Amino acid sequence: MKVVINISLKDGVLDPEGQAIQTSLSNLGFNDFENVRIGKQIILNIDKLDKSDVFQAADQMCQKILANTVIENYKIEILEDN
């Protein structure tokens, strides 16, 4: 199965990169879009394991290293292979 982890900045944390992108978008005429935020996505693959075990392991990874919980939120999604 595939584990997709999305990491995003918490509300209230300054995102200068997002702000710069918003300015560029607005220069291109996309004026209505506000509060542009940048995040990152981490994808992991694993064979033959219980879905809830995988979720727990991914959660531990986020807590221990993948996310900086002072400034970031994370969301874990597990996609089973077809």
Partner 1 sequence: MRTAVTIFPGSNCDRDMIVALKLITGKNPLKLWHKDTEVPNLDLIVIPGGFSFGDYLRCGALAARAPIIKNIKNHISRGGAVLGVCNGFQILIEAKLLPGSLIRNKKLLFTCRDTTLEVQDTILSPFSWGFKPGELLEIPVAHNEGNFFASKSIVHELENDGRIAFKYKESKNKKNNYNPNGSINDIAGILSKNGRVLGMMPHPERAINSYHGGTDGLRFLRTSIEHLIG
Nearest approach, Cβ of residue 61 and partner 1 (Å): 11
- Give percent helix, percent strand, percent coil of the chain, each to the nearest 5: 35, 30, 40
SS3 52: helix
Nearest approach, Cβ of residue 56 and partner 1 (Å): 19
Nearest approach, Cβ of residue 28 and partner 1 (Å): 19
Contact positions with partner 1 (CB under 8 A) in 43-72: 64-66, 68, 70-71
28 binds partner 1 (CB under 8 A): no
Contact residue for partner 1 among 16, 32, 50, 81 (CB under 8 A)? 16
N-term to C-term CA, the chain? 9
The DSSP call for residue 10 is P
Taking each continuous run of H as one helix and of E as one strand, the counts in the chain are 2, 3
Enumerate binding residues for partner 1 (CB under 8 A).
Answer: 13-14, 16-17, 20, 64-66, 68, 70-71
